[in-house]
Structure 1
Amino acid sequence: TRLPAPQQTSSGEFSLWSVLKQGIGKELSKITMPVVFNEPLSFLQRVTEYMEYAHLLDRACEEDDPVLRMQLWFWSHDSCQSTWCSSSPRIVAEQVSHHPPVSAFHAEADAWFFHGSVHPKLRFWGRSVEIQPKGTLTLELLRHGEAYTWTNVNCCVHNLISGQLWIEQYGAMEIINHVTGHKGVLNFKAGGGSAGKDLHKVEGFVLDKDKKKLRFVYGRWTDLLKATDVASYEEYRAAFPAKFNRDDTRKKSGENGSAFSSPASSSRKMFSKLNSITSSFKISVDTEAAFEAEDEEEDEGGPIPRTISTYSVDIPNSYTLWEVTPRPPHSSEYYHFTLFAMGLNERDPASIDKIAPTDSRLRPDIRLLEEGDMDGAGCEKSRLEEKQRETRKSRKKHKGEWKSRWFEQGTNAFNGQPDWLYSGRYWERNYADVEEIF
């Protein structure tokens, strides 16, 4: 329920800017950031937080109804709080590319496999940063021989220059069952401000292969998710039309003074706060790529059913699919970690000699940061970064090629998209020729 030492606050935004201003126009990966702006977890450890509600996947595997399996899937993935996994799944993750940053992972339990890759694209809009999480995610339910694929929705961090930071997720997520043809379509609603009535709301439908609506699903991805039958939803909507508002798609720059303004004049100021949000995201930023203008991609999944806000009163015949597990006491003193996150860097004496020498739990800078030794953590962080640069130079000089170890580039068997596939060798525990990176 606690870390060895509480989080220490930064010494001020100006000091961070004094570091960043020397690197304008350069790759941020070549600049040593103050360790005080980090958290004691690596990005790969953050990827494992997909597993926080893995017990819902166990329940989904036990269901004979594919609609119930789809509903349980929704919140096993999109919930952001903490509970432990009933089937004790195991997960391996690897940074398979550094420029651009790509992380691949593979998790497995007795009844399912969950795998994918994450390679976020960043856009700076002056007062906010938008994160587009590229990459396919795949869930395989072994008992039913089913496979689901999807891509995560966008995330935006607001008030980078001034004011209170706040986060929202928005956009349409389409989950496809490649065996039965069922689809889950969720709309993560744009909040319209930190106090907006739609902030964190999510709504959607479970559809059959003929696009017939079977269930209406609604809630907040930070709190709870409910479901009801479509007839009850339609009846309630007809009886209380004043309670429903059309969901307007987020528009780009300039609408009602939104945060998506041009990054031109304020981009430098934005940098002074950018790294302060890495405690939540840990995303490596390549400056050149981050400012790259990309055209909006059209949705290839066909028309998505429009959804309606329904939160003032519960819809009749609704039942709760998921409700958040409270965070542990004093979470605010420890990086706002959930109970799950609190244990991600724990080293179990019984298994410490079985993990790979490249395991994140062995990183000395993260360990010292967790223990509150800021000076020691800063020195180790600088040493590791310099070690990486020297290794890269040596490899280039000798015309060597870096290759990922546990994952290989290939094609997703279910949607035909490029993907990073697990090689299946990690659990053999053969680390004899693993490169020493710490």
Structure 2
Amino acid sequence: MGSPEKNQNNGGFFATMTSGLSMFSSAMHRSVNGSIASSKERDGYWKMMQSYIGSDITSVVTLPVLIFEPMTMLQKMAELMEYSHLLDQADECEDPYMRLVYASSWAVSVYFAYQRTWKPFNPILGETYEMVNHDGITFISEQVSHHPPMSAGHAENEHFTYDVTSKLKTKFLGNSVDVYPVGRTRVTLKRDGVVLDLVPPPTKVNNLIFGRTWVDSPGEMVMTNLTTGDKVVLYFQPCGWFGANRYEVDGYVYNANEEPKILMTGKWSESMSYQPCDLDGEPLPGTELKEVWHIAATPPNDKFQYTYFAHKINSFDTAPKKLLSSDSRLRPDRWALEKGDLSKAGAAKSSLEEQQRAEKRTRESKGDQFVPKWFDQTDETTPTPWGELEVYRYNGKYIEHRNAIDTSDAIDTSDVQSIEFNPWQYGDLS
């Protein structure tokens, strides 16, 4: 398979740790202080990487901060809300098939934003991210498990609720890695109570060690209306030689009898369009292809290839009053990296990781189990194409917490940036 066009950014949809490995390989040629590493040191790095071949490397590789972007995976979960107006339209739509056109276009829309080169920070156990001031949405995500790494998220406005439990599974293949999204995503449209289930395609990160890193997500994305049995199946075309077919997405909306009703086509890097079709999947006479989603303008020459919405997510403009001290924005390593201080960011990252290990020791010495605040682990284990998933459910406590704060007049919001980052269950980690 050839590489994609040279002028495209790198990165990947579910790249919790894979998107930076190519940069890690270049870093292998330098020591920590920036000097050229010896051949013995390089050989040691190569042996380390080779020992991971065939393994799930989601949380076993410690990577240098120079390959990171100033954002965590909890914040990246919120990026799916950029084009949330499509879910609003799905909720308002009376046509059950057009409802799936809007909702599946929303699911495709995030792929453009997730093709960035940089690796997000892995969240600390108990870390959270809150977002307000975007289309009336209240968003909360929380790191609910450290081994295996798992996150849960909930978003809500007047039109929909969005709930996700995310656990990644990877397979390192030497110069590439396969990433399997072992997760469950559910969207409930409030007007009719329709529940939509999303299964995204797997991702393959190519040229990790040699060549220019690029990401492909070949395979099917399936969104099913669990209420009616209707579904949409979109096929993400694999990238061919010289970038042929890269970004292309094609498929159909089917009724419960698996008869095609609407064809969909486009590129996840640009736009999606739809057209009514006959039972053979051919466009109906007298109809035309209509665009349903188009990417928004992006900042030119952005250092981290951020969209305008990514900057919005990362800013305190989207933070609510009395931000939780466990919020990702407050992480000292993320904050230092955003300010361009790599040395401080690296030291802060190491300190946070050591504090996380210290809290684990404290918890185990007390015989305690970690309990998330905003999500409850259920007894449900759901099958996915890549393994079983323990399901976490939003417990409703966050909206009660937020309502109490928003209706209070005694909240000091003068300097939210001065809040000390603290996701810890135990205060004294000395």
Q: TM-score, normalised by structure 1?
A: 0.71
Deviation of the 1:398 alpha carbon: 2.5
1:15-414 mapped onto 2 (5 Å cutoff) = 15=30, 29=59, 32-80=62-110, 81=112, 87-193=135-241, 195-231=242-278, 317-331=288-302, 334-348=303-317, 354-410=322-378
Pair 1:229–1:352, CA change in 2 (3 A):
closer
Given the alignment, which residue of 363, 386, 396 partners 1:424? 396
Which gives a bigger RCO, structure 1 or 2 (Cα 8 Å, sep 6+)? 1
Deviation of the 1:371 alpha carbon: 0.4
Pair 1:235–1:357, CA change in 2 (3 A):
closer
Deviation of the 1:418 alpha carbon: 4.8
Structure 2: state its 5+ residue gaps: 1-22, 32-40, 114-131, 406-421
**What is the CA deviation profile of residues 7-27 of structure 1, one whole-angstrom value per residue up to 9, with x for unaligned ones?**
xx9873423786956966698
Deviation of the 1:232 alpha carbon: 11
Q: Is the 8 A contact 2:276 2:287 kept in 1?
A: no
Pair 1:407–1:365, CA change in 2 (3 A):
same
Q: Which amino acid aligns with 2:304?
A: Y
Q: Secondary structure at the match of 2:97?
A: helix
Matched with 1:283 is none
* Residues in 1 aligned to 2:270 and 2:280: alpha-carbon distance in whole angstroms: 21
* Residues in 2 aligned to 1:114 and 1:222: alpha-carbon distance in whole angstroms: 23
Q: Which amino acid aligns with 1:12?
A: A
Pair 1:436–1:345, CA change in 2 (3 A):
farther
Deviation of the 1:435 alpha carbon: 2.9
Deviation of the 1:103 alpha carbon: 0.9
* Residues in 1 aligned to 2:63 and 2:379: alpha-carbon distance in whole angstroms: 36
**What is the CA deviation profile of residues 262-282 of structure 1, one whole-angstrom value per residue up to 9, with x for unaligned ones?**
xxxxxxxxxxxxxxxxxxxxx
Q: Secondary structure at the match of 2:153?
A: strand
Q: Secondary structure at the match of 1:226?
A: strand
Deviation of the 1:119 alpha carbon: 0.7
Q: Which amino acid aligns with 1:390?
A: A
Deviation of the 1:222 alpha carbon: 1.2
Q: Is the 8 A contact 2:161 2:188 kept in 1?
A: yes
* Residues in 1 aligned to 2:204 and 2:342: alpha-carbon distance in whole angstroms: 29
* Residues in 1 aligned to 2:61 and 2:148: alpha-carbon distance in whole angstroms: 16
The alignment's C-alpha RMSD in Å is 3.4
* Residues in 2 aligned to 1:206 and 1:358: alpha-carbon distance in whole angstroms: 41
Q: Secondary structure at the match of 1:113?
A: strand
Q: Which amino acid aligns with 1:419?
A: V
Pair 1:119–1:30, CA change in 2 (3 A):
closer
* Residues in 2 aligned to 1:31 and 1:58: alpha-carbon distance in whole angstroms: 40
Q: Is the 8 A contact 1:104 1:116 kept in 2?
A: yes
Q: Which amino acid aligns with 1:340?
A: F
Pair 1:170–1:328, CA change in 2 (3 A):
same
* Residues in 2 aligned to 1:30 and 1:79: alpha-carbon distance in whole angstroms: 30
* Residues in 2 aligned to 1:436 and 1:78: alpha-carbon distance in whole angstroms: 40
Q: Secondary structure at the match of 1:343?
A: helix
Deviation of the 1:30 alpha carbon: 6.8
**What is the CA deviation profile of residues 327-372 of structure 1, one whole-angstrom value per residue up to 9, with x for unaligned ones?**
11222xx211111111222124x95651111010111110010001
* Residues in 1 aligned to 2:227 and 2:283: alpha-carbon distance in whole angstroms: 33
Identity score, percent = 30
**What is the CA deviation profile of residues 47-75 of structure 1, one whole-angstrom value per residue up to 9, with x for unaligned ones?**
11111110111111111111111100011
Count of aligned positions: 349
Q: Is the 8 A contact 1:44 1:360 kept in 2?
A: yes
Pair 1:49–1:433, CA change in 2 (3 A):
closer
Q: Is the 8 A contact 2:276 2:283 kept in 1?
A: no
Q: Is the 8 A contact 2:59 2:149 kept in 1?
A: no
**What is the CA deviation profile of residues 285-307 of structure 1, one whole-angstrom value per residue up to 9, with x for unaligned ones?**
xxxxxxxxxxxxxxxxxxxxxxx
* Residues in 2 aligned to 1:128 and 1:404: alpha-carbon distance in whole angstroms: 34
Q: Is the 8 A contact 2:58 2:169 kept in 1?
A: no
Q: Is the 8 A contact 2:273 2:291 kept in 1?
A: yes
* Residues in 1 aligned to 2:382 and 2:60: alpha-carbon distance in whole angstroms: 38
